[in-house]
Chains A and B, each alone.
Chain A
């Protein structure tokens, strides 16, 4: 093997340690022998000469050791040099050859960069949202507790009650500590008129929560158990987030100890939290003490979120076993709240879940995994295309390979060349992918539904880079080894002058397999995207039960410091309604405790007027206060009538129920003039005056809910109800196109009646409707984008293969045409070939799609995972694509000049 002189010595220096030793010994022996001979020539005896020579040389052993050490070091250095040299040379050569075939390099680069970039972007989201632990110290030891009650279908999961937290805290050995909280919106009123009133997300928490989450204050102190105790009488301590402190109080360093106005009451600021301190699922600005006292009697108030920290070494299964056992003792520990019958009837238990799973939610996790799978499929299709490009290149370079092989390049050396080339390519593609992912992430984050958890934690990071590098390496090595897997270099080529066709059938087979797999993968993606498109269309087709057009909504909340009776609150809303109603362009106005689609899962029992001593208790009914005008404004169809303002003022006790509620209790009768009691069955007793049409209260994909709409004043007086109607959603129906222009006037009206009332959540009803579909639309759009990319790439793939086939069969086609085949026949033949490939791919794809689309599960609505229409459309699309992609090569084939083809 010829090598240039600069590197020759490496091979002369022995590689083994023993070889090095022999070298040193031989050199020294030669020296001593030479000296001895000289000395003998001068007349010494051999023995004398030998002694003299050694003496002159000095300490032979130590010199020998020194020489060995130098040589070993030298050898290591040279091996390193040789290695980097080889790598550098191969890479330089690879860059040069790639530079010579720019089209190939560019196509492979773009395809891989897109595929890798898409995968990197989605992986980054997957990592940030699903895989990475929550940003708390030892976040993997945090668990969320909840109480599933499968027996109550309408509200199958409850929160925990305060006494349960204390009980677990006392009895559990697996949990180190527990914290409890509930989130709410608080109103920051004017601070003496100095600032605008503002709604601030707040958490009412137990002092223990800070320890569980490992939160420390930036200034001042945290809340303590005393604050929790005092909060039962009055709220007098508040802790604020870093964000609120900077934004509203301009980072006032003397804030601790100052008073702020909360819902009209003065509250002392005890501390400020660092920017990183937040609840896992909800960003809050105010941390307020939850009213709690370990000595209070147990109450059935299962509305709190509970986070526990497991002891070191405990896993979730252990904790679950223990809490299940503890929960079973509830009827003994708290007989006033739990009876064995209730426990059995509802299936009441306590569920331990990792906090991360609880925050992210199974549907989100699932959607992101599905998208990840989709981009991996796209990446595979892209890689298949690039593999095809590489194979084409191998064809065109067979002569070069044969020549190199003939002059002595080993198969290994050829493999190294091809590996270097593919690694350079995939390396560059990985760099490009970082750019694609960066741009893609910006786009995705801007597009993602705002309620996607942990969205603010999505950043390009090391894990994303590592993922991309691993993918690029795998792709690079696979693609690089592809040509050498394809058997012996064909020396016969040299004889044939580079026109040989030996081995072509096998090469073609590989390419056919690649293209059918692409088709199959693309079909799976298409089917999945199609199913989601249909689901979304079905959802959009669902009638929400109200008319969202030209309706503007916003939230108003009255500071409870000054609105202490239902009459005062009612007067505010009535006055505001009158003023807004009088605005030009306004058709009607109303207030309600909640809007359709956004109704919380919170539900209470209602007692209805049916035969029997105490009436029948409903399982789960949503209770809502509404003012006159609510139904009219939302155009919710109403049979009978809703209470009007005078009736409301008088305290007339009539209520409106939803169709679902009416049908549940009076399936074949008229509900109007029947009666309903609230909550725990306390008086007053409401006469049902109207029944609404079916309103999608819980979302378009849920059946219309059971709702009882109460008028404001009598409801607020009800002893079973806590709190006044201070937080209301305002709905205004305007003339077409006037929705936004009435906003300033509404603001002015609110400000004139009471400048301390904040307005928030301003949004057209149509936007809320769209938002309720946001998560599904997001998944669908990304999946559709992945499917589109897969389609394009598959088209490129099939185009490449058919072009190749046409080129291979030029002479055969020439013969056919010489024998009288018409151009159409030839075109048909080529297109048929493409369709055979597509057909096989589609068949495999259909089988895979049938097997895999089931994972879409809860993302689908009103469509079966095996929906024939979607499957047929996807199949047709692919078949059309295969036809179109093969058309250009087919035309080229039909233009083959028989004479030329036969001669050439």
Chain B
């Protein structure tokens, strides 16, 4: 909701978030959104319209597999899950991310030469 403070998403981070989220188990698009919002305490807000193209693209690349299934409320929904390729991708992205944040952290912690 508009009142919730949101952070602008860094470019390329969406893929990582989706991959990580799906690593907990297969889920549909709306559930992915909910998971991200819940876990981050509503701090990260994903643009809804951008989520689906990202999901389809990752499916096209073979990172995700999609299957029609039923929700607990017995609605037909398209579920996504990680493929083996997707899992490897996630590991690689995580490594990259941690290196990046580490480097940024180092820089920000530095006081500079006196």
Contact = CB atoms under 8 A, between A and B. Distances in A.
A814 B47 CA distance: 86
B47 A58 contact: yes
Interface in A13-35: 23, 26-28, 30-31, 33-35
B52 interface: yes
B38 to A, nearest CB: 13
Nearest 10 CB-CB pairs, A to B?
A58-B49, A74-B60, A70-B56, A34-B30, A63-B49, A27-B78, A57-B48, A30-B77, A66-B53, A57-B49
Interface in A30-76: 30-31, 33-35, 56-60, 63, 66-67, 70-71, 73-74
Contacts of A70: 53, 56-57, 60
7 contacts: A9-B67, A26-B78, A31-B30, A58-B48, A67-B52, A70-B53, A74-B59
A74 B55 CA distance: 12
B26 interface: no
A67 B48 contact: no
B85 to A, nearest CB: 12
Contacts of A57: 48-49
A85 B48 CA distance: 36
Contacts of A77: 60
Q: How large is the interface on B (under 10, 10 to 19, 20 to 34, 35 or more residues)?
A: 20 to 34
B76 interface: yes
Interface in B49-80: 49-50, 52-53, 56-57, 59-60, 65-68, 75-78
Interface in B5-44: 28-30
Contacts of A9: 65-67
B67 A31 contact: no
B56 A71 contact: yes
A12 interface: yes
A28 B65 CA distance: 18
Contact of B75 (A28, A30, A67): A30
Contact of A12 (B60, B68, B76): B68
A72 to B, nearest CB: 10
Contacts, number: 55
Given A9-B65, A30-B28, A30-B76, A56 B52 contact: no
A67 B49 contact: no
Contacts of B76: 26, 30
A504 B48 CA distance: 68
Nearest to A53: B48
Interface residues of A, number: 24
Given A31-B48, A63-B52, A63-B53, A73 B60 contact: yes
A289 B65 CA distance: 83
B80 to A, nearest CB: 10
Interface string A426-440: 000000000000000
Contacts of A33: 75
Nearest to B68: A12
Contacts of A30: 28-30, 75-78
Contacts of A31: 28-30, 48, 52
Interface in A786-827: none
Contacts of A27: 29, 52, 77-78
A33 B71 CA distance: 13
Interface of B: 28-30, 47-50, 52-53, 56-57, 59-60, 65-68, 75-78
A66 B55 CA distance: 12
Contacts of A26: 76, 78
A4 to B, nearest CB: 14
Nearest to A33: B75
Most B-side CB within 10 Å, residue of A31, A33, A77: A31
A205 B5 CA distance: 98
A56 B77 contact: no
Contacts of B65: 9
Contacts of A34: 30
Contact of A35 (B30, B47, B50): B30
B47 to A, nearest CB: 6
A60 B29 CA distance: 15
A422 to B, nearest CB: 34
Nearest to B54: A70
Contacts of B49: 57-60, 63
Contact of A74 (B30, B53, B56, B77): B56
Contacts of B60: 70, 73-74, 77
Contacts of B28: 30-31
A34 B71 CA distance: 11
Given A30-B75, A30-B76, A59-B49, 12 more contacts: A31-B48, A33-B75, A57-B49, A58-B48, A58-B49, A63-B53, A66-B53, A70-B60, A71-B56, A73-B60, A74-B59, A77-B60
Nearest to B75: A30
A193 to B, nearest CB: 83
Contacts of B68: 12
B53 to A, nearest CB: 5
A9 B53 CA distance: 19
Nearest to A9: B65
Contacts of B30: 30-31, 34-35
A66 B65 CA distance: 19
Contacts of B29: 27, 30-31
B28 to A, nearest CB: 7
A70 B52 CA distance: 11
A77 B61 CA distance: 10
Nearest to B45: A56
A12 B66 CA distance: 9
Nearest to B78: A27
Contacts of B52: 27-28, 31, 63, 67
A499 to B, nearest CB: 47
Contacts of A35: 30, 48
A293 B28 CA distance: 97
Contacts of A67: 52-53, 56
A9 B77 CA distance: 16
Nearest to B66: A9
Contacts of A71: 56
Contacts of A58: 47-50
Contacts of A66: 53
A587 to B, nearest CB: 92
Contacts of B47: 58
Contacts of A59: 49
A60 B47 CA distance: 12
A508 B95 CA distance: 69
Nearest to B65: A9
A33 B29 CA distance: 12
Contacts of A74: 56, 59-60
A23 B67 CA distance: 11
A27 B75 CA distance: 11
Contacts of B48: 31, 35, 56-58
Interface in A67-103: 67, 70-71, 73-74, 77
A363 to B, nearest CB: 66
A63 B57 CA distance: 13
Most B-side CB within 10 Å, residue of A27, A30, A60: A27
Interface string A2-16: 000000010010000
A340 B43 CA distance: 114
A57 B65 CA distance: 23
A57 B53 CA distance: 12
B29 to A, nearest CB: 6
A73 B52 CA distance: 16
Nearest to A28: B52
A9 B59 CA distance: 11
A74 B64 CA distance: 12
A239 B67 CA distance: 81
Interface in A124-141: none
Contacts of B57: 70
A446 B53 CA distance: 68
A12 B67 contact: yes
A663 to B, nearest CB: 95
A77 B65 CA distance: 15
B68 to A, nearest CB: 7
